[in-house]
């Protein structure tokens, strides 16, 4: 078997290893989406994926070694052709090893500014094996044609204008965002495909029954009546105009900007549900006042129960019991900092004895962060205001999550990329938008704890 055949065989093996590795990665991602997955199952699949990674590395190293050997063989053949004595009879044509005229990997006549080289450097850093192959071939070509330059013992500082800087694109720091913890806890619905208003019928005058006064006398009758609850469909949108230079000559600029627009979209949606005038949760909730110059967690907790009592009293048989408490992260950590020697008189399911609730130690935006002493789940959301009331107060919201309705387009947010509007200035317009509607007022049930007892907390263990 010739060296060229060995190289072809090694390249095929390398490509097969890459395909196998991708299959293992896809299987791992599918497993992680399984709600019933176990830690052992994930660990086993990760080990299989890592083994496939190692096999790709091994196959790539073997291919690189064969290609380097081929380059060296071509060098030797070229040297032999130049050092044959003139008096020596020339061998037959098919007995001579010749250097072919294969084109260079990166050619100035085809890519004068070296853009392909720069893209391959960036792609190789992100794991593109084909880009790595092209760079390896380029290095070998340079060793053959310009060994004095490639092998010279000079550091990169001597070639500041020639060494491509390596920006750690995988470690870029996106702007932090509060995102949408409360919105993700609401009862979701698909937004109707047409119209800018969603109407809900509410029975505002109920029928009646009463004890019949005597036989053959009229029984109670009250005509049922309803009132429409109109809910406006709102548009959440943002835009950014990028120069073509930033997109075409930058590394990952467009995905980074798009990701940030999506983050702002989520934050605006969630903040609207909480804070919008008239319909936001803070404006439809009935206040449970907590006024205290020296607030403590022990004093705050009864207010939570008062609020939950009001939620159930408002909903009666429509209460689902799926209650949640929504609070700012500073309030959740303040409640955790409290120490005490008293506990609720009535035990609660899922609560360890002699503790005031449970912290699940999950990350921000990951759903339920813990439960209060009576088992009510806590949602932490930093879109809640911290300059309310006296100026440094936040609020705690208590709701039945099944009565917090959110309609969204299944495809939202949507993305428009338009080049024509800013064509004359070489700009590309990026727009992110979506439609949504919401209500917390199908039943007037929501409660909020507010007052001077919720001023900016101090962490003193009480």
pLDDT in tens, 392-414: 999 999 999 999 999 999 888 99
Which CATH fold would you assign to the domain 179-212+219-344+354-462? Major capsid protein gp5 fold (3.30.2400)
Residue of 446, 157, 128 lying closest to 280 (CA atoms): 446
Q: How confident is the model at residue 154 (pLDDT cuts 50, 70, 90)?
A: very low
Q: How confident is the model at residue 340 (pLDDT cuts 50, 70, 90)?
A: confident
- The pLDDT of residue 70 is 86
Contact criterion met (CB below 8 Å) for 459 and 405: no
- The pLDDT of residue 117 is 67
Residue of 46, 60, 30, 41 lying closest to 128 (CA atoms): 60
- The pLDDT of residue 315 is 96
* CA R_g for the chain: 34
- The pLDDT of residue 345 is 59
Q: How confident is the model at residue 152 (pLDDT cuts 50, 70, 90)?
A: very low
Q: How confident is the model at residue 317 (pLDDT cuts 50, 70, 90)?
A: very high
- The pLDDT of residue 323 is 96
The pTM score is 0.64
- The pLDDT of residue 158 is 42
Report CA dihedral (285, 290, 291, 294) to the nearest 10 degrees.
-140
Q: How confident is the model at residue 148 (pLDDT cuts 50, 70, 90)?
A: low
Q: How confident is the model at residue 115 (pLDDT cuts 50, 70, 90)?
A: low
Reply yes or no on whether the pLDDT at 344 is more than 90: no
Contact criterion met (CB below 8 Å) for 126 and 171: no
Domain boundaries, the chain: 3-171, 179-212+219-344+354-462
Contact criterion met (CB below 8 Å) for 275 and 383: yes
**Alpha-carbon span 297 to 277, nearest angstrom:** 30
In this structure, of 6-15, 149-158, 169-178, 351-360, the range with the lowest mean pLDDT score is: 149-158
Q: How confident is the model at residue 86 (pLDDT cuts 50, 70, 90)?
A: very low
Reduced 3-state DSSP string for the chain? CCHHHHHHHHHHHHHHHHHHHHHHHHHHHHHHCCCCCCHHHHHHHHHHHHHHHHHHHHHHHHHHHHHHHHHHHHHHHHHHHHHCCCCCCCCCHHHCCCCCCCCCCCCCCCCCCCHHHHHHHHHHHCCCHHHHHHHHHHHHHHHHHCHHHHCCCCCHHHHCCCCCCCCCHHHCCCCCCCCCHHHHHCEEEECCCCCCEEEEEEEEECCCCCCCCCCCCCCCCCCCEEEEEEEECEEEEEEEEEEHHHHHHCCCHHHHHHHHHHHHHHHHHHHHHHHCCCCCHHHHCEEEECCCCCCCHHHHHHHHHHHHHHHHHHHHHHCCCCEEEEECHHHHHHHHCCCCCCCCCCCCCCCCCCCCCEECCCCCCCCEEEECCCCCEEEECCCCCCCECCCCECCEEEEEHHHCEEEECCCCCEEEEECCCCHHHCEEEEEEEEEEEEECCCCCCCEEEECHHHCCCCCCCC
Cβ atoms within 10 Å of 314's Cβ, excluding its own = 17
Average of per-residue pLDDT values in the chain: 84
* pLDDT cut 90: percent of the chain above it: 46
**Alpha-carbon span 454 to 459, nearest angstrom:** 13
- The pLDDT of residue 98 is 47
Average pLDDT over residues 427-456: 95
Average pLDDT over residues 427-455: 95
pLDDT in tens, 245-299: 988 888 778 888 999 999 999 999 999 999 999 999 999 999 999 999 999 998 9
Q: How confident is the model at residue 96 (pLDDT cuts 50, 70, 90)?
A: very low
């Amino acid at each position: 078997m010739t060296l060229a055949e060995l190289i072809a065989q090694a390249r095929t093996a390398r490509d097969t290893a890459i395909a196998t590795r991708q299959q293992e990665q896809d299987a791992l991602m599918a497993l992680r989406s399984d709600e019933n997955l176990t830690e052992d199952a994930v660990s086993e699949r990760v080990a299989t994926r890592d083994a496939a990674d190692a096999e790709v590395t091994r196959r790539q190293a073997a291919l690189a070694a064969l290609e380097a050997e081929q380059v060296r063989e071509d060098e030797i053949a070229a040297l032999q052709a130049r050092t044959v004595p003139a008096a020596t009879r020339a061998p037959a044509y098919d007995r001579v090893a010749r250097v072919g005229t294969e084109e260079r990997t990166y050619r100035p006549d085809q890519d004068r500014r070296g853009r392909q080289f720069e893209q391959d450097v960036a792609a190789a850093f992100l794991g593109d094996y084909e880009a790595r192959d092209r760079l390896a071939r380029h290095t070998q070509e340079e060793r053959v044609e310009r060994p004095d330059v490639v092998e010279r013992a000079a550091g990169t500082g001597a070639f500041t204008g020639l060494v491509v800087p390596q920006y750690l694109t995988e470690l870029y720091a996106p702007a932090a965002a509060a995102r949408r913890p409360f919105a993700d806890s609401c009862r979701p619905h698909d937004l109707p495909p047409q119209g800018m208003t969603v109407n809900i019928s509410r029975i505002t005058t109920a029928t009646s029954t009463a004890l019949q006064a005597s036989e053959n006398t009229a029984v109670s009758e009250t005509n049922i009546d309803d009132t429409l609850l109109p809910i406006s469909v709102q548009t959440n949108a943002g835009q950014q105009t990028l120069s073509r230079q930033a997109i075409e000559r930058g590394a990952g600029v467009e995905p980074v900007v798009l990701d940030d627009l999506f983050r702002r979209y989520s934050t605006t949606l969630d903040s609207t549900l909480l804070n919008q005038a008239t319909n936001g949760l803070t404006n439809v909730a009935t206040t449970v006042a907590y006024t205290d110059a020296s607030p403590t967690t022990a004093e705050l907790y009864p207010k939570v129960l008062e609020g939950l009592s009001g939620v159930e009293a408002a909903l009666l048989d429509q209460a689902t019991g799926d209650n949640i408490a929504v609070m700012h992260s500073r309030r959740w950590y303040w409640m955790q900092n409290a120490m005490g020697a008293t506990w609720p008189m009535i035990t609660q399911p899922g609560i360890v004895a002699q503790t005031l609730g449970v912290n699940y130690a999950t990350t921000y935006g990951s759903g339920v962060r813990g439960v209060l002493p009576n088992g009510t789940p806590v949602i932490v959301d930093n879109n809640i205001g911290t300059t309310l009331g006296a100026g440094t107060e936040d609020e705690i919201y208590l709701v039945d999550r099944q009565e917090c309705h959110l309609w969204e387009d299944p495809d939202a947010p949507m993305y428009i990329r338009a080049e024509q509007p800013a064509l004359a200035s070489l700009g590309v317009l990026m727009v992110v938008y979506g439609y949504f509607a919401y209500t917390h007022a199908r039943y007037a049930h929501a409660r909020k704890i507010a007052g001077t007892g919720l001023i900016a907390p101090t962490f003193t263990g009480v």
